Structure formats: C-alpha cells, structure tokens
Chain A
Amino acid sequence: MEDNVVLTARQISMTFPGVLALDRVDFTLRKGEIHALMGENGAGKSTLIKCLTGINDFVNGEIHVDGIEGPVHNHSTKDAQNVGISTVYQEVNLCPNLSVAENLFIGREPLTKFGTIDRKSYTAKAQKIMDDLGISVDVTKNLENYSLAIQQMVAIARAVDMDCKVLILDEPTSSLDDEEVEKLFNVMRILKNKGVGIVFVTHFLEQVYEVCDRITVLRNGCLVGEYPIVDLPRLKLVAAMMGKDFDDLKSIKSDENSKIFDELEISARGLGHSGTIKPFDLDIHKGEVIGVGGLLGSGRSEMARAIYGADKANSGTLKVKGKEVKINQPIDAMNLGMGMLPDDRKTEGIIADLSIRENIMLALQSKNGMFRLMSKSAQNELADKFIKLLSIKTPGRETLVKQLSGGNQQKVILARWLATNPDFLILDEPTRGIDIGTKTEIQKLVLQLASEGKSIMFISSEIAEMIRTCSRMIIMRDGEKVDELTGELTEERVMKSIAGGDKK
C-alpha cells in the first residue's frame, strides 16, 4: 500500500434487486486529509459508505485498510469499527438520556475491582477527550441538554477514542447553524492534524471549499473522478455532479418559449417556514411549467411544502387565483386545487399495503369527503383509466402498490393527483430512480398538462430535464431563493446560478 494511504477501495460494485447501485468505483483516502464525497441523489454516495461500514454487502471489489493484512470485508458496523472505520450520521446515534461521558464509554466502561463501573475514572477521561477537541462541555450532564452540534461532536469523539483511522461524516452539517458548523470544522481540523482520514459527505458547496483537501465525485453509481480541491472550481464541480451527458431524448418541448402567461395562479409574498426555508416571493401563472433548481437540501422541496401546507408556513401571505388564502394543512391546499407529489416516495407517497386502486382514489376521496364514497364501479373505472393512461405495468388494479417497481409506484402517485384534476400541481423529483422511458413519458405528460391550462412546479436534480420542460426557473441555495431565470435556458446558465459565485 502506498505511503500515507489509510483506506483504498478498488472496483467496488454493488447491486440492489434490478439496479446496479455502484459500478466499479475506486476510492482512496490518505492520512490527515479531509476528503469530500460528492454527488446528487442516487449517485451512490451512501451506498459506497455503507459498503465501507459493513451495512451493505458489496458483490465485487476489494477494500484495504492501513495496518491490516489482506482485503477487509465488513459485515457489520462493529466489524468496521474493529478495523478502524467509524461513521457519524446526521441523526446522532447516541442515547440522549445518558451523560456525555457515558455516551463516550457505554459498553466499554472501565470497571473497579468490585466489578462496578468506575465512574470517576471515565468521567475524567471523557473530560480530557472533550477538552482536547476544544469543546467545552460538562461531561456529567445528560446529552439531551446539549445542542445537536455538540451531540454530533460527542459522537465524533466516541469514534475517535475507539481508535478510528477513518472517520466518515455523513451529512453532519445539515441541521447546524453557521456558528456550529464552524465549531465542527474546528474539530475536524484538529483530527486532521492528528492524522485521521476524514470522509466528508455534504451537499453544501461552500463547506466543501472551506475544509476539504480533495473531492471525489460520483454520478449514477459511477466514479466521475478524484480531484485536488484547487483543480475543481465550483462550476466544474457542479458540472461533474450533474453530468453533461445529454441523454438520448430528443427535444420534446415545442417552441412555446415566447408564450405569454398573464393569468396568475399562485402568488406568494414573503412566504416562509422558519428553520427550513427563508421567506420568498413567487408568482406562478396559469399554464406555466416552472422549474425549481438547486442542490439537494437547498430548500427546493421545502419551498413546495410551504406552499402546499405540508409544513405550515409561518410567515408571509399566499394568494391563489388572486384570493388571499390560509393553508393550515394539505387538505386546505387540495380544496384550492393543488396537488403535491412528494420527493420521498416511500415515506410520504405510497400507502404500501393498499392496492393500486385504493392508492389512486385516495386523494380524490379525501377531497370528496368521508361520506361520499365513490361507487365500486367508479373506483375501478378510475383505476383502470389511469393504469391505461400512464401505462402502469401491473397484473391488475388490486395488486398491492408495494409490489410494483419504483417507476410504476411513482406513476400511481401521479395518477392519484391527476385524478383530483388539480389546477396547480407540484412534482418533487418525479423522475428519480425510474427508467429513461418512463422519464420521457412523465416529461411529456407535464407539457401536456400545461397545455391544458394547468400550472406545474417541477423540481428535479437533473437540469437537462428541467430545461426541456420548464419555461422559467427558480434557483435555490442554502434555504433561500437566490435567482429566477427567464428567457433562453441553458445548462451553463443554470449551473452557474446553482453553484453561486466563487468566493475571493
């Protein structure tokens, strides 16, 4: 093994049923470096991490860890910890009801000669560990008394104290404020100087350029490349992450760029939800497809959720068709003619144990009210109509939705909203994780709906697809609406806007 290298992964491949999640990916981590692992949703970041930490069983390839003979194959997080690979997640995996010191030492507390735990000794040890990392906490206090940032640092301290050589930080900064992020970076730098190799997964570009030495970019399960930070400026990084490869879809958009929209459908002024999205202004016209771009976590979903009432907006006003409205929960939005296909299909989309028919009818039924149950024949007709219209591949309408493939599940949820005949439809990542044929179908459908006079908000990680379908784009960054692009939309323009200006 090369000098200074603590971890190498060679030609790692990983499949989930029917999907090649990782395709011969290489990854190298050196001592004392902070290495950013970047990529959009489905790029394979988390799959790669799970292969390293033993949660996923990779099918192909080899992992080598410094100081250990032969290839390493972890089967559990415990295995990984034993070879010196530790992970700290965004959700802290600690016990909030125990003290900081206990969290550092649980399961391996030093014992006194009577077999009881030696509280004094490990409290002192814990205090020293935290002091060394420059974090001022009282280690005898319960963890729940401290902020998430401190909790994360305790998790890091635990990992480091268990002799980890490789520390993986999986989106640790997502729920931290600026000051807390700075503290975390401080700890990361201390560890770096101690020679720990750190893998840093984040979707905040600013942070990558602040602490990282090197970047590895993944896309669609493949390695795009490994770059020293100086060789990869912001724009190039975004390009590498999003991919330039124009899929072989022909342009499906007609020349309607010049079309003039004058009838306002949605008009938001200062709408916001504290903690997730800063107040924004937005106008959407009738018959318009508006794209929302930005990286994951930039506030693109949160903007949609605030309009729809999935997260009740706590500032600003919203007008629908010119009338000021108050939306407390989704059903209010639905009664105003809205619909939303959420980005997380599993937790917020499908009702897994119900049939396709029931999943499709659900939104229309709840709009109609509990006491006006659709007749069985009307239900069947509705289900059959959409199974045919969206060509959902299924043995029949009574098949449970959990038995369908991802793409077909997505179509079922799309059908659920089309059935309510909405005037304004929010599509959050409607094409994620589905095959290219279905993607085109969905894009065509979006344009068709717009031509029927419906307004559509289209949120996607793929710029190409938004350029093809949208007439205008909103750009989000760090929970804020930062740009609005009209006129000729090009990939370069969009990417520049998403990346934001380079500092200095």
Chain B
Amino acid sequence: MNTKNLFDKLKKSQLLLPVIAMLLVMAVNIIHDAFTGAGAFSFFTITLQNTTGNGTILYGRIIDILNRGSEAALLALGMTLVVSASAGTDISVGSVMSLCASFCCMLLAGYGVSSTNELAVPLILGVLAGMLMGCACGAFNGFLVARLNIQPMVATLILYSAARAIGLLLCNDLIVYVRNNSFGFFGSFLGPIPTPIIITAVCVALLSIILKKTALGLYIQSVGINSKASRIAGLNSKMIIHLAYIVCGLFAGIAGIVASSRITSADSNNIGLYLEMDAILAVALGGNSLGGGKFSLAGSIIGAYTIQAITTTLYALGVSTNQAPVFKAIIVIIIVAIQAPPVKAFIKKKSLSKSSKGVA
C-alpha cells in the first residue's frame, strides 16, 4: 500500500523522467562493467589517489561526472529561470561563457599578453569582472526580450554569434594562458575534492536559498504561467523577466571562469562550445516544460548530470567525442516526442481504450 502510494507520487512527479534516465545510464554502466570484467560496481567506486600535482584526491567515475558536469549544471540553473519566466531559451550562454573567460583572462594577463605567470591585476578583480561581464550580457538579452518584446531565441542569437568573437578580440586574437596556480585553483582541487564541484554546490545552494527565502521563485513561475494575471496582481512582469536573464548571464560568467581555469587559458573558440544545447537539454530532461511556467531546479540539475553521465558512459563504451552527439540527438528527440501533445493524446487514447476493454 505504502509503496504503491510512493510509486503514484513518483509517477506524477516532475522528477520521474530525469531519475529514470539516470537509472538507465547507471544500468548500462553496470552491465558494461560486468561484461568487461572491471567489476560490476566499478561505476560507483570512489577511491583516494595520490597525485604529484594535487596531493591526495578523490577518484572515480562519479566524481568525474560531477566534476565535468559542473559547467552544464551551472548553465542549467540560469536556463531554468529563463525558460520558466519567458517561455524561451537563452542560446547565447555558451558564447557568453567564452566571452567572460576571455575577459577575465585578458584582465589577469594584461591586454595583448599571450602567456603569463604573473597576474596583472588581483585575482579577485579578474574573477569579479568576468562575472560582471556575464551579468552585462544577461542584461542585454533581457532588455531585448523583456522591454523590446523580441522572441528570446532571436534576441539571444545576437550574442550567440557575437560574444565569442568579442572575446577573441579582447584577447587580441590569441589564446591567453594564465599559468598561475591561484587562477588554476577554480579548475583543480580544494583538498581532495575538485573545486568545480564545490563551486557548483555553492551556487546551487545560494540560488536555492534565494528561491526559498524570497518570493523570486513564485514571481518567476507566476509570470511564466500568466503574465497578464500576474500584472493585475501587482507583479512587474518585465522586470522579473529581465532579472531572470541577468541571473542566467551571471551563471554563464561563473561557468566560463571555471572552464578557463581548468585549462588555465582562455580558448575562445572552444570554451562553452555547444554547452547551451546541454543546458537546454538539461532543463527539458529535468521535466520542465520549455513552454515556461512551473520549474524544478532539482530536475534541471539532475538533468545536467545525467547528460554528463551519458557522455562519460559513451566515452567509456568507446564512442569518440565527436560521435557522441548522435546519441544525444536521439535522446533529445525521444524526450521531447513523448512530451509532445499529439503523442500524449495518442497514448492517453490508447490506454483509455485498453482500460475500457478491460472493464468490458
């Protein structure tokens, strides 16, 4: 009885989809590991390893997924808010990541310097500037969407194609290397734990607290569901949509800094490439409607890590980095197709006729 209730609850829950996807990925790993003789549960094994550079660190596939999935998870946070409030996606986040990374590295190295061991400005200044650049990009997108009523995808198309190029320009067309341990910290380890995991955890915690302690979450959902009614009830719909984009830009900035810190350089052409797709996919996989309205942050986060788990698993199965998108594409289509209204109606009709047959 009790388990049935729990099952019913889960069946209705938004989290059903991402949880199932995650379980499937784990199952594939277990089977694969068992057959290759690596031990059925090697997927879950976490060990401490000594390395020369970083001292004792945590090691294991789960740690790797959490670490590598940080950027996508950060972007998914902002994307969730944007999708909820404006019923559209911000496709510029990957590009903005790259711009913020370039801006940060350019400040840290000094303009025109391609490689440095010394920081030109204090680290904190560079990092803050990177984050601020993210906010500025978000504000620009938000202005177009909320104030000029331009479709979100169209509005963010501008920065999608420009931000990466502006970043490259800031770096004087070079890949800027900041070979300084203090900058490399964001992409390496804090004690035994990879720093990106900690940064993501802090961001998730902060955003959750903000959503818990302020009415922002309620406002965003309310505007996303019915902006007219929200206005009558006293909400400033435009301001709230604008804010969602700024927050999204901020997270893109943070993700950009993490990504460039991993490689201690600003590789404009590759940082955040296709990551906007992962972020959008994470939101959809998290059971959030891309049509706006109610959102679940937890769903998006699980979604982001699920995508990373899929990628990591594909690599483990011997699929190359470049081939992995084929499987991603199939997964995207399956997810959106089962959520499409005509398909839903079809399934409902099928199950109805089945149950009525059962009664008769």
Contacts and interface: CB of A to CB of B under 8 A. Distances in A.
Contact of A351 (B212, B213, B222): B222
A347 B222 CA distance: 13
Interface string A305-348: 00000100000000000000000011100100000101000011
A149 interface: no
Contacts of B230: 351, 362
A117 interface: no
B231 interface: yes
A40 interface: no
Given A363-B233, A366-B234, A353 B294 contact: yes
A340 B233 CA distance: 8
A354 B231 contact: no
Contacts of A330: 231-234
Given A351-B222, A362-B218, A367 B234 contact: yes
Contact of B231 (A329, A350, A358): A329
A349 B232 CA distance: 8
Contacts of B231: 310, 329-330
Nearest to B223: A351
B147 to A, nearest CB: 14
Contacts, number: 78
Nearest to A361: B218
A366 B235 contact: yes
A363 B230 CA distance: 9
B234 A331 contact: yes
B234 A373 contact: no
A365 interface: yes
A449 to B, nearest CB: 19
Contacts of A348: 226, 228-229, 232
Contacts of A362: 218, 222, 230, 233-235
A342 B230 CA distance: 12
A354 B212 CA distance: 16
Interface residues of A, number: 29
Contact of B236 (A310, A331, A342, A361): A331
A351 B232 contact: no
B235 A331 contact: yes
A264 to B, nearest CB: 24
Contacts of B214: 370-371, 373
Given A347-B228, A347-B229, A351-B225, A363 B234 contact: yes
Contacts of B218: 354, 358, 361-362, 365, 373
Given A358-B218, A370-B219, A373-B214, A353 B233 contact: no
A342 B229 CA distance: 9
A489 to B, nearest CB: 30
Nearest to A331: B234
A416 interface: yes
Query: Which residue, A310, A342, A373, has most C-beta atoms of chain B within 10 A?
Result: A373
A428 to B, nearest CB: 10
Contacts of A367: 234
Given A331-B234, A358-B218, A373 B213 contact: yes
Nearest to A335: B234
Contacts of A340: 232
A371 B294 CA distance: 20
Contacts of B219: 366, 370
Contacts of B232: 310, 330, 340, 342, 348-349
B119 interface: no
A352 interface: yes
Nearest to B222: A351
B221 interface: yes
Nearest to A379: B218
Given A331-B234, A331-B235, A367-B234, A349 B294 contact: no
B221 A354 contact: yes
A362 B237 CA distance: 13
Contacts of B221: 351, 353-354
Given A370-B214, A370-B219, A373-B214, A334 B226 contact: no
23 contacts: A310-B232, A330-B233, A330-B234, A331-B235, A331-B236, A334-B234, A340-B232, A348-B228, A348-B229, A348-B232, A349-B229, A349-B232, A351-B229, A353-B225, A354-B221, A354-B294, A362-B218, A366-B235, A367-B234, A370-B215, A371-B215, A373-B215, A373-B218
Q: Which 4 A-B pairs have the closest CB atoms?
A: A366-B234, A331-B234, A363-B233, A334-B234
Given A350-B226, A372-B215, 5 more contacts: A330-B232, A351-B226, A351-B230, A361-B218, A373-B215
